[in-house]
Structure 1
Amino acid sequence: MSPTDPAASTPPQPARRPQARTHHGDTFEDPYDWLRAKDDPEVIAHLEAENAHTDAALAHLEPLRERIFQEIKGRVRETDLSLPSRRGDWWYYGRTIEGKQYGIQCRAPIAGPDDWTPPVLSPEVEVPGEQVLLDANVEAEGHEFFSLGSFDVSNDGTRMLWGVDLAGDERYTVRVKDLVTGEVLPDVLEGTFSGSHFLPDGTHIVYTTVDDAWRPDRVWLHPVGRAGRDEDREIYRDDDERFWVGAGVTRSDRFLIVESGSSVTSEVAMLDAATVATDPEARPRLVWPRREGVEYGVDHAVIDGEDWLYILHNDGALDFELVRARVGAPDVVETVLPHEPGRRLLDVDCFRDFAVVEYRREGLPRVALLDYRTHALTEISFDEPLYAAGFGSNPEWAPPVLRIGYGSFTTPGSVFEYVLPDADPGLLRDGEPGELILRRQVEVLGGYDPADYGQARLWAPAQDGTRIPVSLVWKRSFGEPGAGIRPVHLYGYGSYEHSIDPSFSVARLSELDRGVVFAVAHVRGGGEMGRQWYEDGKLGAKRNSFTDFVDVARHLVESGYTTPQRMVAEGGSAGGLLMGAVANLAPELFAGVLADVPFVDALTTILDPSLPLTVIEWDEWGDPLHDREVYEYMKSYSPYENVREGVAYPRILAMTSLNDTRVLYVEPAKWVARLREVGADALFKCEMVAGHGGVSGRYNSWRERAFQLAWLLDVLGVAEA
């Protein structure tokens, strides 16, 4: 293990300018909060000095970074096409071209109404009738950052819209193109949120906008062909600062669904998609009025000519249940799938002849078909013990096949088509009813063989006796984990009921091929083990997330998998809060901590309702502004306030982006300054043109990951494959 290059410049330490923050009779002197003045030239100068120092301190890793970048690049087929997906009279797909940062959206005509087998396309062979819809490389010319937040084509295939963010602040400008004439229409919708789309007839655009706290709060209807937003009609508005709004059209094209939700409560309203644009008096009709703590989602089905709503809810059902009701009487329900503890229902998607239900069971995501008449579930299963299966791209209302996305830690991302039991065999060139057909698997160049790698799940005991699932992936040639001391890269998140499911990573191979074992600690606060798993890691139980991660690390050490000197922890965003907390709780357990866009000044942020997301976040963390107990609890774990004197911290690398609206750059900037006060070897890198997801462009993203992995491998004392 090599320390930060001693020849590097002295770390830039910002001036201490204490500002008093007083709540509930407690005063905290914050010496670095002045760094949040984003437009202050002194702040920008400090961030640039931090970047220069990090570059100098890690200059010795440049050869390793370049090797890792070339390894990632060498495993990816740079000129490639995605699997075509049928919508209407077209197959839609994406292209990537060697040397180009961004994808290209294309389409080609179907051969006829019975053409349901996706064409086998080749990058080297011209596709008959191909149309290039959007070349993001052209859109990004002259800009350091580019993000596509909306992309949609009207049902009849004649119009396209796209929304672009050129700063990283997740505010998009939407434009429209006539695909028949090639004309770019006068529509320019500035300041929209992501996810804009057409109404089914293509005459209007549905979009959302945000308030001053960056909360999507309004849904609008824009007539295509009009410049600007002056004539747009607001069709929904939610003034409750805890709720986000969004809108979408049911697969049946029958209803425009408007959803408004907080972390714990939701409400759904419906409008007739065919008349909402022509009826200025149209108002959303509530399905169920909001009730605190009740979440639900709605989809539409037509069964024997009658309109039904399929409603997934948690009213008295911790892991959710599925009911249905007639459109005209949403309060009169019948149970479709009753609540079953341990089976966390996640989503329902209604097609003409069946529905698809996604759920979690035994810690892993599953997909099943639902029979409308018998309510029987047919799970679509796979052979691997650890995998993730999910709903794929299925835009059609009555397809003969169902697209399923699939992957594991060792199996590259794949797309299967499940041949539906009632499918007309004349529509398919291959496959039998009930059969899974592999249509595409991401190709990994360089001789990748999944048999060379292993994956497994073990269980680590927490302090309170709870068993914490831990996923492992490794290269078999280095021996089985636990048979000897190995370097370990331990990843965690643990918030918002978000689950870290098995998935393949090309970049991860660069560490596995050097003998590193990659591990995921599925701590409480995530959703891996159902809703209770989430409840046991939020609000007043949040510390469970941190102690679970520490207990997993201790278990790996005590069971002979690794040592503290050979273990690095990583987490991002809310997982960055996890990193800051465990660094304070158990600095002796890790050689390094990689914190990406880390939420490490949590209490300061959640105390300020004027900041983006704060009020919404009170359902996740509690309201420290008005509740003394919440204030004291958050102050007990917030990383910035709890940096410890007199302990040896692991090496720390914090990375963020200047324009991140979700976790402000000032949080890691303050945290690193405080860590340096107690002698920690902490480095800070701030992308000056990027957002919450980091830099844009695939080559830039690969280089960013190579930067992180080179640092991580250096901490672990591993350099060569």
Structure 2
Amino acid sequence: MHRTRTRTRPLECDGSLVWDESGGLFWVRLDGSHRPHRLYHRRVLDGDGRWIDDQSDELLFEEDDGLYDLRISKSFDGRYLLVRSGSKETSEVRYVDIRPECRERADDDPDGKGARMELRTVAPRSEGVVYRVGHCRGHWLVQTNLGDGGGRTPNLGLRSCRVGDGGMGRWEPVTLAGTGEAAFDGGHGRSLDGVTVFTPADSSRTYAVATGREDGLPQVWVLDLDVDDTDGEDAEAGGTGRALSASSMVRLGFPESACDTGIGPNRDPSLPYVALSYDSLVTPPSTVAVDLSDPSARRVLKTRDVPGYDPDDFACDRTSAGGARSALVRVGQVPDEEENVRGLRRRRLVARRAGRGRRRRRGRRGRVEAVLRGQERGRITRRGGLEYEPGSLPGGDNGRAVRGRGGDDGRLDNTPDSGGVEWGNPNEEEFFDYIMSYSPINNVKEGAVYPACLITGGLFDPRVQFWECAKYAAELRHTASDESGRVLFKTEMTQGHFAGSDRYKFIKDLAFEYAFLLDSLGMS
């Protein structure tokens, strides 16, 4: 660990910034391949809250393994800085208490301006084990694919340990009091996406709000955790604790059988309620407050206004149907009530494979608006969902996740040093054939009829270079049948991997996509 002096200048960071309570800023620097790899701390305010001109950068940690990205966040209660080194298959979390009173003082700096911070490890990395943590009154709530006996589970399970109890062997399942059943065992029946801990100021109780999937839909659970006051000390301080259990676990129910819900914009862990995001095929995106002590008590904080839309004109239903590869597909149906009475069978469908996929904010846009306009909508997810016939979309198996880094020739570049451990080594015939089987540009069929395609790219995209999009568009135009739809290639000259950063630019991009869609359908 070393410190360098610097005049005030813009941070060359990956966008992850965390403030501490003593006027300091944690940030992560990118390497030459745009991989987040170094964690720094910069003190920007003095003890009186005044700006420091001659600032200091302190290197706290460097991830040398090119397979791992470095990410930082703050625990929801604001006590710990969490530093996660992770690949797609393996992860490791370090932490440091960032409260001013817990910072270690340097002998030659008694006023604490140059206080040193030592990162500690929750548990050393183990190949094939992924985990992330949240703080809960002296415990870590660990979401991990590590199962009993050291095996790997298909979904993340929920375990706990004392802060300072290093090693995966100390992780114990969070169980339900009375039955001893694991709240989340990582099995196929119930998946876990995230856990947020609340300690209401007007109560002695501690609640964990978990999000995940069950029965083919996003779900939210409220766990009333048994945590006594003696569990507030860390293991390093000599505290004695036990594995966490929940006196109750309630899965929230909602009035509509096909809906989408998840954790909303929560900022204060001391509030007695949790804000959830909610929407359905007929309900516009809304924010709902749920009382933690009585989850049946709720109030709507805000609902998106959709001009001219009356939800009473529509109904929402849910059924199941056999899907591709014998998978069960949950299908949400939105029949127009008036037309349904007359016996007409016009339905709008949105489907997902049961138990697969995660909540995606961008996937919800325009859902209610599309129903209102009378357009049929379908959702295709990379992992499951409705699958089109082979060749109906240009380039390979549309139901398979395509992962890799773009190469100069427009194909996937899965060389060993860029992630061969995760993606497969293309120098081995088995993996080469597999990669070629889903490489989009290599699977355009000669003379095939393809629908109209809008292909977009960003000039400053470090992940998918603009020439890859250009070559893909050229391949479609050269190879597809004359009966195919048009191929439009659009490059954003000021953007990178994601869309415009401001609200109006996002709306402009969205309007262009809708215009292309409507024009391709012959609508005006």
1:647 to 434, 445, 448: 448
Distance 1:479 1:631, change over 3 A: farther
**Contact (CA 8 Å) 1:391, 1:403: kept in 2 or not?**
yes
Q: Secondary structure at the match of 1:677?
A: helix
**Contact (CA 8 Å) 2:396, 2:437: kept in 1 or not?**
no
Deviations, residues 584-606 of structure 1 (Å, cap 9, x unaligned): 99xxxxxxxxxxxx999899554
**What is the letter of the counterpart of residue 126 of structure 2?**
R
- Give the match for residue 370 of structure 1: 223
Deviations, residues 101-120 of structure 1 (Å, cap 9, x unaligned): xxxxxxxxxxxxxxxxxxxx
Q: Tell me how far apart the structure 2 counterparts of residues 419 and 219 of structure 1 sit (CA, whole Å).
A: 38
Note the C-alpha offset of 1:710.
2.4
Q: Secondary structure at the match of 1:673?
A: helix
**Contact (CA 8 Å) 2:309, 2:372: kept in 1 or not?**
no
Q: Secondary structure at the match of 2:442?
A: helix
Alignment pair present for 1:409 and 2:281: yes
Distance 1:471 1:217, change over 3 A: farther
Q: Tell me how far apart the structure 1 counterparts of residues 33 and 219 of structure 2 sit (CA, whole Å).
A: 36
**Contact (CA 8 Å) 1:248, 1:256: kept in 2 or not?**
yes
- Give the match for residue 14 of structure 1: none
- Give the match for residue 171 of structure 2: 333
**Contact (CA 8 Å) 1:474, 1:517: kept in 2 or not?**
no
- Give the match for residue 197 of structure 2: 350
2:432 to 603, 609, 631: 631
Q: Tell me how far apart the structure 1 counterparts of residues 318 and 361 of structure 2 sit (CA, whole Å).
A: 12
Q: Tell me how far apart the structure 2 counterparts of residues 228 and 710 of structure 1 sit (CA, whole Å).
A: 50
**Contact (CA 8 Å) 2:285, 2:304: kept in 1 or not?**
yes
Alignment pair present for 1:360 and 2:213: yes
Q: Tell me how far apart the structure 2 counterparts of residues 367 and 295 of structure 1 sit (CA, whole Å).
A: 22
Q: Secondary structure at the match of 1:521?
A: coil
Note the C-alpha offset of 1:701.
2.7
Distance 1:520 1:247, change over 3 A: same
- Give the match for residue 314 of structure 1: 145
In structure 2, stretches of 5+ residues that fail to align are 1-6, 46-50, 107-114, 148-152, 176-181, 200-205, 227-244
Distance 1:630 1:367, change over 3 A: same
- Give the match for residue 129 of structure 2: 294
Alignment pair present for 1:282 and 2:117: yes
Alignment pair present for 1:439 and 2:439: no
Q: Tell me how far apart the structure 2 counterparts of residues 372 and 250 of structure 1 sit (CA, whole Å).
A: 18
- Give the match for residue 13 of structure 2: 192
Distance 1:466 1:584, change over 3 A: closer
**Contact (CA 8 Å) 1:222, 1:229: kept in 2 or not?**
no
2:326 to 465, 473, 477: 465
Deviations, residues 74-125 of structure 1 (Å, cap 9, x unaligned): xxxxxxxxxxxxxxxxxxxxxxxxxxxxxxxxxxxxxxxxxxxxxxxxxxxx
1:392 to 260, 264, 273: 264
Give the total of aligned pairs. 453
Structure with greater helix share of residues: 1
**Contact (CA 8 Å) 1:606, 1:615: kept in 2 or not?**
no
Deviations, residues 157-184 of structure 1 (Å, cap 9, x unaligned): xxxxxxxxxxxxxxxxxxxxxxxxxxxx
Deviations, residues 122-179 of structure 1 (Å, cap 9, x unaligned): xxxxxxxxxxxxxxxxxxxxxxxxxxxxxxxxxxxxxxxxxxxxxxxxxxxxxxxxxx
Q: Tell me how far apart the structure 2 counterparts of residues 218 and 606 of structure 1 sit (CA, whole Å).
A: 27
Q: Secondary structure at the match of 2:9?
A: strand
Distance 1:273 1:242, change over 3 A: same
- Give the match for residue 418 of structure 2: 615
Q: Secondary structure at the match of 1:708?
A: helix
- Give the match for residue 658 of structure 1: 459
**Contact (CA 8 Å) 1:410, 1:450: kept in 2 or not?**
yes
- Give the match for residue 128 of structure 1: none
Note the C-alpha offset of 1:635.
1.0
- Give the match for residue 230 of structure 2: none
Note the C-alpha offset of 1:258.
0.9
Distance 1:388 1:512, change over 3 A: closer
Q: What's the TM-score, normalizing by structure 1?
A: 0.56
**What is the letter of the counterpart of residue 294 of structure 1?**
V
Q: Secondary structure at the match of 2:379?
A: strand
- Give the match for residue 166 of structure 1: none
Q: Tell me how far apart the structure 2 counterparts of residues 493 and 690 of structure 1 sit (CA, whole Å).
A: 33
Q: Tell me how far apart the structure 2 counterparts of residues 254 and 644 of structure 1 sit (CA, whole Å).
A: 56
Cα RMSD (Å) of the superposition? 3.8
Note the C-alpha offset of 1:342.
1.2
Q: Tell me how far apart the structure 2 counterparts of residues 643 and 197 of structure 1 sit (CA, whole Å).
A: 45
**Contact (CA 8 Å) 1:320, 1:344: kept in 2 or not?**
yes
Q: Higher relative contact order by CA 8 Å / sep ≥ 6: 1 or 2?
A: 1
Note the C-alpha offset of 1:365.
1.7
**Contact (CA 8 Å) 2:405, 2:413: kept in 1 or not?**
no
Aligned counterparts, 1:65-144, within 5 A = none
1:269 to 86, 94, 99: 94
- Give the match for residue 251 of structure 1: 76
Alignment pair present for 1:710 and 2:512: no
Distance 1:212 1:206, change over 3 A: same
Q: Secondary structure at the match of 1:252?
A: coil
Note the C-alpha offset of 1:254.
2.6
Note the C-alpha offset of 1:389.
1.9
Distance 1:440 1:269, change over 3 A: same
In structure 1, stretches of 5+ residues that fail to align are 1-185, 422-431, 527-544, 555-563, 570-578, 586-597
Alignment pair present for 1:323 and 2:159: yes
Distance 1:702 1:631, change over 3 A: same
Note the C-alpha offset of 1:490.
8.5
Alignment pair present for 1:519 and 2:334: no
Q: Tell me how far apart the structure 2 counterparts of residues 642 and 517 of structure 1 sit (CA, whole Å).
A: 28
Q: Secondary structure at the match of 1:263?
A: coil
**Contact (CA 8 Å) 1:358, 1:368: kept in 2 or not?**
yes
Aligned counterparts, 1:18-29, within 5 A = none
Q: Tell me how far apart the structure 1 counterparts of residues 457 and 28 of structure 2 sit (CA, whole Å).
A: 27
Q: Percent identity?
A: 27
- Give the match for residue 143 of structure 1: none
Q: Secondary structure at the match of 1:371?
A: strand
Q: Tell me how far apart the structure 1 counterparts of residues 279 and 493 of structure 2 sit (CA, whole Å).
A: 34
